[in-house]
Structure formats: C-alpha cells, structure tokens
C-alpha cells in the first residue's frame, strides 16, 4: 500500500438490526454464564419486524428465562414502539435451541491445561500506535460517533432520534500516519415530523463536532448526514438482524485480516471469541512494548486440540526484531491454549453484553482484560535475553 492514501471504517448504532441481534445473544450468554460458568453457549438471534427468534446450541445446568432476557435487552436499547421498529412488550419471541454436540464436548470438557478448542479456525489480532487506544483511528472515531449518537438520543438532547444509525469515517494518511479527516458519514434514523435540515444541523453540531477533533477537520472535510435526504423507516422494520454480521465493525474496521468467525453469543470455549481476544492481547502488548509500530497476530486451532496449530506475528516491516524472532518470543510469553486463555483473561464472567456494541477492542474498561498491557515488561526482558 502507498504511504499516502484514504482509509474508511464504519460503525453501527445499538438499534441497528444486526447489533440488536448481537446484544440479545450476548445478554443471553451473560444470563447463563452468571449462573453456570461451565455452560457451553452458541446462541444466535434473528430479529425482523415484530419477531425475535433465538436459536443455537446451549448446554447448561442453569435455568434462564430467555424471553425475559430478550425483552429487557430490547427495552434498554429503546425499542418500545412497534410502529418505529419493535416493541419489547408485545413482540413475538420464538426459542429453538438444542444441546451442544457430545462429539465436541469430548474435546472441550477437560481441565484448563488440556481443554481443546471448541472449533477449528483462524483468529487475528491487531494493534497500531497511531492512537492512544492502539487501534486504527478510523474505527475509533466511527465508534465514538455512535456512542455519542446513543447518548444524545437517550439523554433527550435530540429526542427525535430513533435507535437505528450508522457512521463512517474516512481518514487521509500521509506517510502512513493519520493526517486529517476527509469524510464523515452519519445515517441517523429520526421521527418523521423533523425536517432534514434540522437533522443535519443537529447531528453536525451535537454529534460530529462533539467527537471529531477540530484539528483533524478543515474546509475540505466532507460531512454527509442522511445521504438520501430522509431516514424514518429503519431498524427491524427495514432490515433483518442476525448475530455475527458485523464482524469488521466488531474488530479493526477493515484494517488487517479477519478469520471470519464472530464473537457474540459464544462462550469462551469457542476460540472465535477467546482466540480473537488473545490475539489482540498479544498484538497490543507488542506495540505497547515499542517492539513494533503495528502488529498483526494470527492464531489457528484444530477442534478438540489444546495447542494451537500455528502462531504468526506480522509487523508489516515496523518490528524492532524480525517477525520470526517475535513469534518465538510470543510463544514463550503467552500460553495460547484455550483453557489457559480463559483462565488468564478471566473470561468466565457475565461481561459480554457490553462488548456487543462499539467494538470489542480499544475500550477503557477493567472487564476488557484483553486490553491490558501487563506483558510489556516480560516481553522487553525476553528481547534482552
């Protein structure tokens, strides 16, 4: 890639149908894992108009009233009117789940040291020193716009906004570093009696200018609010939501690689989740230790097998050591067996609902243990030795 380029990332609001599905799936996971940390959960949700379908494989000794969890989640998002999306009180809910395959359980239900991966797959983690969060700037700003979108809606600063929305941020890079914001796109669902001029002005003043640093904008920065001129019909009235369809939003905004597996609705025995978190943890610690300006880590697993099939570090030519040397250091510093990942990152806790919006990475939250940089000194010591 040229050192001068435009790069774009997007985020979506809490009321986007796919994010509604993610939040429901992770809320169900939290409710189960709070009562039964040993539960095995692979839960998917479909949302469309006035209906919610919860399906998947769940093995647990706990009883959870899934419809109650669904209604509570919809209420917290703000869906209380069937005419504008879905009503948490009156929506139809169908639950169709079965137990996890005993063939999988044979390789997973073991001690932490021997616990095998809950599936085969490849996971990627990424970090870059272009932001304090060690995340790519476009996805950081896109998420922050959607957080602010939810805040002004829920705090009644812009009470006419509805739950559905999207953001998109294009950054101009010069010599590989962020230079300026080229374009900001916001799709903001709103009540039908509000003019588009009012929506554009309010969204610009209360959301865009509140989030995007003025130093990053200039007279050439383009602001696009509701590009079609109107966004009244949205949410689950206009689109079907499905768990796991926003995997790029959930990760790095299109920077780096992605193995294809989603996070939401999956307990951490599924390496799509735990392995993805671990890969981010490794990459972030490498960058935080100043061993590279940017870093991508790939981990791969075979179902039922504890040790990863492969581990790879790619620093895109920015590493202070060769990538193969860093890979060997990573193998010494991090135990990448699934059971040990779960133990080290403390993943058997009901923390997952809040991961399901605004990205799983780059967050200031003690529960996001994979965001800690507590391996920096150990990595530096291994480099010296």
- How confident is the chain (385 residues) per 10-residue block, as mean pLDDT? 88 96 98 95 94 95 95 94 88 92 58 74 97 98 98 96 96 96 96 93 97 96 92 80 96 96 95 97 98 98 92 97 97 96 97 97 96 97 89
- Per-residue confidence (pLDDT) for residue 144, from 0 to 100: 98
Burial of 67 (0-12, 13-18, 19+ CB in 10 A): middle
Q: Rounded to an integer, what distance in angstroms lies between the CA atom of residue 129 and that of residue 290?
A: 9
- Per-residue confidence (pLDDT) for residue 110, from 0 to 100: 58
- Per-residue confidence (pLDDT) for residue 87, from 0 to 100: 93
Tell me the DSSP string of 116-163.
PBSS-EEEEEEEETTSTTSS-HHHHHHHHHHHHHHHHHHTTSSTTEEE
Secondary structure (3-state) at 339: helix
**196: which residues sit within 8 A by CB, 6+ positions away?**
226, 229, 230
Q: Rounded to an integer, what distance in angstroms lies between the CA atom of residue 208 and that of residue 216?
A: 12
Q: Rounded to an integer, what distance in angstroms lies between the CA atom of residue 335 and that of residue 341?
A: 7
Cα–Cα distances in angstroms (integers) from residue 288 to residues 91, 129, 140, 385, in the given order: 47, 8, 17, 19
Q: Rounded to an integer, what distance in angstroms lies between the CA atom of residue 150 and that of residue 206?
A: 12
- Per-residue confidence (pLDDT) for residue 2, from 0 to 100: 66
Q: Rounded to an integer, what distance in angstroms lies between the CA atom of residue 326 and that of residue 112?
A: 26
DSSP strand pairing (121-128 vs 92-98): unpaired
Secondary structure (3-state) at 167: strand
Where would I find the H helices in the chain?
17-35, 66-77, 102-108, 137-154, 196-203, 209-211, 247-250, 271-288, 323-333, 338-344, 376-384
Q: Rounded to an integer, what distance in angstroms lies between the CA atom of residue 18 and that of residue 235?
A: 9
Tokens 């769940």 sit at which residue? 58
* Token pair listed for 285: 């610690």
Q: Within 13 A of 384's CA, how many CA atoms are on the CB side?
A: 7
pTM, two decimal places: 0.95
């Amino acid at each position: 890639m040229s050192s001068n380029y435009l790069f774009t990332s997007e985020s979506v609001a809490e009321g986007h149908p796919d994010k509604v599905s993610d939040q429901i799936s992770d809320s169900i996971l939290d409710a189960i894992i709070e009562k039964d940390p040993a539960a095995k959960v692979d839960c998917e949700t479909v949302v469309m108009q006035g209906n919610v379908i919860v399906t998947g494989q769940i093995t647990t000794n706990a009883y959870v009233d899934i419809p109650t969890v669904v209604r509570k989640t919809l209420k917290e998002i703000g869906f209380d009117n069937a005419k504008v999306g879905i009503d948490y009180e009156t929506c139809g809910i169908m639950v169709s789940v079965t137990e996890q395959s005993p063939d999988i359980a044979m390789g997973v239900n073991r001690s932490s040291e021997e616990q095998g991966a809950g599936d085969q797959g490849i996971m990627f983690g990424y970090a870059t020193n272009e932001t304090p969060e060690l995340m790519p700037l476009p996805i950081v700003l896109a998420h922050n716009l959607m957080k602010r979108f939810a805040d002004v809606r829920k705090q009644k600063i812009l009470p006419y906004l509805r739950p559905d929305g999207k953001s998109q941020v294009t950054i101009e890079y010069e010599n590989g570093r962020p230079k300026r914001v080229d374009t900001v796109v916001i799709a903001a669902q709103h009540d039908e009696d509000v003019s588009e001029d009012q929506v554009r002005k309010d969204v610009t003043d209360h959301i865009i200018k509140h989030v995007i640093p003025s130093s990053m904008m200039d007279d050439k920065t383009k602001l696009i609010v509701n590009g079609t001129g109107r966004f009244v019909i949205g949410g689950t009235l206009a689109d079907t939501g499905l768990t796991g369809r926003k995997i790029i939003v959930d990760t790095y905004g299109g920077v780096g690689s992605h193995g294809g597996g989603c996070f939401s609705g999956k307990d951490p025995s599924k390496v799509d989740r735990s392995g993805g978190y671990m890969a981010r943890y490794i990459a972030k610690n490498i960058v935080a230790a100043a061993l590279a300006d940017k870093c991508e880590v790939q981990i791969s697993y075979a179902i039922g097998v504890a040790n990863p099939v492969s581990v790879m570090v790619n620093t895109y030519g920015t590493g202070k050591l060769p990538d193969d040397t860093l890979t060997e250091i990573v193998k010494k510093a991090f135990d990448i067996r699934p059971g040990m990942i779960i133990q080290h990152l403390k993943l058997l806790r009901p923390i997952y609902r809040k991961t399901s919006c605004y990205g799983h990475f780059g967050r200031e939250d003690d529960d996001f243990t994979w965001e800690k940089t507590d391996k920096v000194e150990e990595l530096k010591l291994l480099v010296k030795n």
